[in-house]
Amino acid sequence: MKNLATTKRLPIMAGLLIGGFIGMFSETALNIALAPLTTELHVSTGTIQWLVIGYLLMVGILLPLSGLLTRWFTTRQLLIFALSDFIVGALIAALSSSFTFLFIGRLIQGIGTGILLPLIFLVALAIYPLNKRGAAMGLIGLTIMFAPAIGPTVAGLILGALSWQYIFWAMIPFLVLALIMTLIFTKNVMPLTRPHVDILSILLSTVGFGGVVLGISLASDKGWTSTIVLGSLLVGIVALAWFIHRQLNLTEPILNVKAFALKNFSLGTGLVMIDFMIIMSSMYLLPIYWQKGLLVPVALTGMLMLPGGLVNAVVSSVSGRLYDSFGARRPAMLGFLVSIIGALLLFFGQSTSSYWYVVCAHIILMIGAPLAMSPSQTAGLNALPKELSADGSSIMNTLQQICGAIATALATSLLSAGEAASAATGAVKVVNGTHFGFILTAGLAILGFLLTFALPKKQVQTK
């Protein structure tokens, strides 16, 4: 498969990238609509959060099982199912006029995304040779980084002119295009070994990852000391510990956690987790800063976040090529350093800051984060031998999504703490709250920068 010409690789990847882009876009696009949805659907703020929690929950449950699915079903079968599933979920959401049907649509969409995301990496590893993987990861970076960054912008523009249902109508043509390209071009890239399915492992994975995602997601609304939050986290962590112990002792594990024994994979995965937390925390805090701190309307908020999203796309597309030329350390180190500057500029923003100041700070952050992402991903995945590539892709994507939920929950908690600690009122109070949140973003960037010193200076050949 690695001998395929570039003209044949791109059509194979196209359906995956379009589908994955919509999946990641869906993860943040609805955030900007949650406030008006509480009024229109006549539900509380706590209830409306389940549109995000439910989606993340399904993604978190499906991702760890993707390695097993790729050994039982062909790449083509999985992609056709995932894209068809997402189309059905988007249709249900677009046609819904009640919270219940919208929630069902979101759950179905989460299933599609949970299957799609690891397949993107798996197919790229299978069809691209080592010296081309950096460029491939740059394309994937457009999916992982640009989509959630552009989500609030596009959704804001839609809400400025149309109803929230059109957020989902806008997804469907792209999903249909991805499905058509999959039907025409996609072939299987993994051997079907159909290993023994350990039912207990599946149950432990579902309860473990589901419990952790649920607990973290609920913490943003109910607080970290809430009984349901602590209970969900405790059950999830215990189930995960049992799951990991069982995988280490099975001859045919559903997720081979021995991939963590490879230093560069563990380091690359850790950097990807940190980088995604930078993106998700800032994507949560920035719309609040714009709308409640600077009193900017929803539609204009989307426009003001557009420059950062576009810069994200450009940097994502070239950062992988930097890995092919320089290895992982230098691009990742520079990316986290630039992210520190962007996060600190946002931290020092005030309710009187000019629009240009905030836009420029956002642009700087959107230069740094994608610059670090693709080299970190490629360094981690290149460390895997072929037999661990499916498991490694599942692990990286699962932990990335869990960290996205953690970042949002922590940013919410810090925002509330900052507002509570502020003696001010109104917009100034909100801005003071976002300062606490941007401390998290800056702290993550500093941690990522320090860890990049452990990255290899040059590309590491897969064994």
Burial degree of 88 (CB within 10 A; 0-12, 13-18, 19+): middle
**Residue with token string 């970190």:** 376
In the numeric block, which tokens belong to residue 355?
């629009």
**CB-based contact 122:73 (threshold 8 Å):** no
Q: Model-level pTM?
A: 0.80
| CA 112 – CA 121 distance, rounded (Å) | 16
Count the helices and strands in the chain (H runs, E runs): 19, 0
For 316, residues 6+ apart whose C-beta sits below 8 A from its C-beta are 138, 141, 142, 144, 145, 146, 370, 373, 374
**How much is the pLDDT for 314?**
84
Question: Taking the C-alpha atoms of 255, 260, 266 and 268 in order, what is their torsion angle to the nearest 10 degrees?
Answer: -40
Nearest to 146 by CA among 301, 25, 275, 304: 25
* 12 vs 222: CA distance, rounded Å: 44
Matching residue, tokens 């059950």: 235
Tokens of 397: 């994507």
C-beta contacts of 269-273 below 8 A and 24+ residues apart: 269/380, 269/395, 269/396, 269/399, 270/451, 271/332, 271/372, 271/376, 271/380, 271/448, 271/451, 271/452, 271/455, 272/373, 272/376, 272/377, 272/380, 272/396, 272/399, 272/400, 273/399, 273/400, 273/403
For residue 16, what is the enclosing H or E element?
helix 6-29
CA angle 308, 312, 315 (to 5 degrees): 135
Burial of 76 (0-12, 13-18, 19+ CB in 10 A): middle
Phi and psi dihedrals of 99, rounded to 5? -60, -40
Return the closest-CA partner of residue 375 out of 294, 292, 268, 454. Answer: 268
Mean pLDDT, 10 residues at a time, the chain of 463 residues: 57 82 83 77 76 80 79 85 93 90 92 84 76 72 74 81 88 91 78 78 86 79 83 92 88 80 89 90 85 81 83 81 78 94 92 89 93 87 80 81 80 82 79 88 95 77 49
H or E segment to which residue 462 belongs: none
Place of tokens 């894209």: 83
Cα 64 to Cα 255: distance, rounded to the nearest angstrom: 7
- Cα-flanking dihedrals φ and ψ of residue 326, to 5°? -120, -5
Q: Which amino acid is at 460?
A: V
Q: For 121, what's the count of Cα atoms within 13 Å in the CB-facing half-sphere?
A: 29
Are 36 and 132 within 8 A, CB to CB?
A: no
Residue 239's pLDDT is 92
The reported pLDDT for the residue numbered 95 is: 92
14, 62, 107, 252, 387 from 255: Cα distances, Å: 27, 12, 23, 9, 12
Rounded CA-CA distance 407/274 in Å is 9
pLDDT at 223 (0 to 100): 76
The helix, strand and coil proportions of the chain, stated in percent and rounded to the nearest 5, come to 85, 0, 15
In DSSP notation, 298-348 reads HHHHHHHHHHHHHHHHHHHHHHHHHHHHH-SHHHHHHHHHHHHHHHHHHHT
Task: Using alpha carbons, list the distances in angstroms from residue 124 to 377, 385, 389, 434.
Answer: 12, 14, 10, 38
First to last CA, the chain: 18
Q: Are 65 and 77 in contact (CB under 8 A)?
A: no
Q: Rounded CA gap, 165 and 329, in Å?
A: 43
In the 8-state DSSP scheme, what is residue 84? H
